[in-house]
Structure 1
Amino acid sequence: MESIQELLAQKAALEKRIADAQRTAKADAIAKVKALMAEYGLTAADLAGKSPAVVKAEGGKKVAAKYKDPVTGQTWTGRGLKPKWLQAALAGGKTLEDFAL
């Protein structure tokens, strides 16, 4: 039977071997990635998904309002959370069609 000291020494030796193997594997992976990047002309921005060729589909256009509060004049496009004025009116028995433009 091995002593605790011998087992702890074996454990430390295994942990060192594991760390060395991980370091080597990581270096190999980085080398492969760099080679592929050079081969295909890729940059870090390409890998991050921040390609300058990608354009927003919306283009930043504003959406027209679909609902309006006749009392305050506030509007809502129908996207996102319902505004408080509309939630209160709906809770009071009104329908969404009552506010449609």
Structure 2
Amino acid sequence: MASYKQLTAQLEKLHKEVAAAREREVAQVIAEIRQKIAEYDLTAEELGFTSAAKPRRKAASASVARYRNPKTGETWSGRGRAPAWLAGKNRERFLIDA
């Protein structure tokens, strides 16, 4: 019966042989594929490597400012948390005329 060291040495040798065989075969397959692509004038789309344009989500549009701080010129769209300069005040006084 083989010892642990002998078996691990055999395993390492087999791993190296597997890697070398894979490299040879992959190189051969790539050469064959390139030859077929050139022979048939195939495109990446025809081979399925590019997908159809996916519908993109619309970017969030910039909100129009509805309120303005007369002292600083800072604006707020009315969305989200109200700014500190508007807290506890009548918002109608800060409305921007359209």
Larger radius of gyration: 2
Task: Give TM class, smaller chain.
Answer: 0.3 to 0.5
Q: TM-score, normalized by length of structure 1?
A: 0.45
